Amino acid sequence: MTGKIIGTGSYLPELIWDNHKLTEWLDTSDEWIRERTGIGQRHISKELGACGMALEAAKKAMEDAGKAGFKAEDLGAIFVCSVTPDICVPPIACEIQKELGAVNAFCYDINAACSGFVFAYNMAVSYMESGLIKTALIIGSEQLSRIVDWNDRGSSILFGDGAGAVVVTASEEKGAAVMHSDGASGEALQCTTGGKLSMDGQKVFRFALRRVPEVIEELLDKLKMEKGQVDLFLLHQANMRIIEAVIKRLGLDSNKVPTNIERMGNTSSASLPILIDELNRAGELMPGMKMIMAGFGAGLTWGAGYITI
């Protein structure tokens, strides 16, 4: 069994900070940031927190799923992934349930950092396999600007705010999931409650370059699929250099690896659902498409999942 997308939505704050804006207080340049990361700008949320942004994205995803007659009462579960929740109790997912009227869903929040969306998706599919649910709403929502240390030029340049949501339903097609964690390397990217994010950029970079190709190969093995049979590889949007290195290492066709990092920066658990929503709204997701998602980030955590449309 695997998951099939039936609705997508996203929310991006109107305020945009391009790289030039950051040079107002950081010793950096547009050229340096673009060359090392591929990032040109990021959205910044001054008004909505993770809960408010999640709700906006969720409403759009439900509206999209509603075109096929899907209703909020049909949702079996709601999962919200965030490392920047603005409320801890009740779970943001329960707030979303209340606002949507998804009375039959069970709901909770997940923190698996930038791997959150992939982990939540894989978890939702295993609930589908167990017969517990048929359909789930999975949301990634992040106000990273709140925890970024804006005086640290080595990390602040990377991150942005936003939310993405995907409604996924069970499909009989064969699926597979891969998820890994390495808590012993957690100091590479960390943030205490109320504190600011700190990162060993080179360590995270090396980790991603090794683990992302590895986890995609592992998933392909489990699926018994060749790379050429996959229509799209959806990679967590962390850094263009990481994405390019993965393309090269796996010998992928870069046309099959869409990116939006230039406009978004790294939005952690929101990056994949925002990308999926952009592709959907641009008419680039065709029925029957086979897609592999790969996420990686703090924890350290990394994983891959198979999704169709």
Active site residues: 114, 236, 266
State whether residue 150 is helix, strand or coil.
Answer: coil
CA distance 28 to 305: 36
**Distance in Å from the first CA to the final CA of the chain:** 13
CA distance 15 to 94: 28
CA 66, 71, 77, 83 dihedral sign is: positive
| Contact string (CB under 6 A) for ligand COA, positions 47-86, x = contact | ----------------------------------------
Can you give the length of the chain in residues?
309
The angle subtended at Cα 5 by Cα 67 and Cα 245, nearest 5°, is 140
Least Å from the CB of residue 229 to ligand COA: 28
Least Å from the CB of residue 134 to ligand COA: 32
Among the listed residues 204, 215, 264, 270, the single contact to ligand COA using CB under 6 A: 204
Question: Any alpha helices (H) in the chain, and if so which ranges?
Answer: 19-22, 30-37, 50-66, 92-100, 116-130, 201-223, 240-250, 261-264, 271-281
Stretch that binds ligand COA, among 133-141, 152-160, 170-178, 255-263 (CB under 6 A): 152-160
Among the listed residues 202, 210, 254, 284, the single contact to ligand COA using CB under 6 A: 202
Least Å from the CB of residue 1 to ligand COA: 29
- Token code pair at residue 230: 């996959």
Among the listed residues 11, 70, 117, 205, the single contact to ligand COA using CB under 6 A: 205
Q: Do 123 and 79 touch, CB atoms closer than 8 A?
A: yes
Closer residue to ligand COA in complex, CB, 6/212: 212
At position 160, the amino acid (one-letter code) is: G
Q: Which residue is nearest to ligand COA (CB)?
A: 201
Residue 153, interface with ligand COA (CB under 6 A)?
yes
Number of H helices, E strands in the chain: 9, 13
| Contact string (CB under 6 A) for ligand COA, positions 209-238, x = contact | -----------------------------x
Strand partners, 190: 198
Least Å from the CB of residue 287 to ligand COA: 31
Q: Which helix (H) or strand (E) holds 110?
A: strand 106-110
Among the listed residues 110, 157, 165, 276, the single contact to ligand COA using CB under 6 A: 157
Least Å from the CB of residue 257 to ligand COA: 16
Residues 1 to 40 in contact with ligand COA, rule: CB under 6 A: 28, 32-33, 36-37
Least Å from the CB of residue 130 to ligand COA: 30
Task: List the one residue out of 239, 213, 238 whose CA is nearest residue 227.
Answer: 213
DSSP code at position 90: S
Closer residue to ligand COA in complex, CB, 42/60: 42
CA distance 62 to 7: 6
Closer residue to ligand COA in complex, CB, 66/201: 201
Among the listed residues 143, 145, 237, 266, the single contact to ligand COA using CB under 6 A: 266
Q: Do 37 and 240 touch, CB atoms closer than 8 A?
A: yes
Residues 92 to 121 in contact with ligand COA, rule: CB under 6 A: 114
- Token code pair at residue 66: 């509603």
The residues, ordered by sequence, that sit 6+ positions from 130 with a Cβ below 8 Å of its Cβ are none
Total residues interacting with ligand COA, rule: CB under 6 A = 19
Please report, as ranges, the residues that interact with ligand COA according to CB under 6 A. 28, 32-33, 36-37, 114, 153-154, 157-158, 199, 201-202, 204-205, 238-239, 266, 297
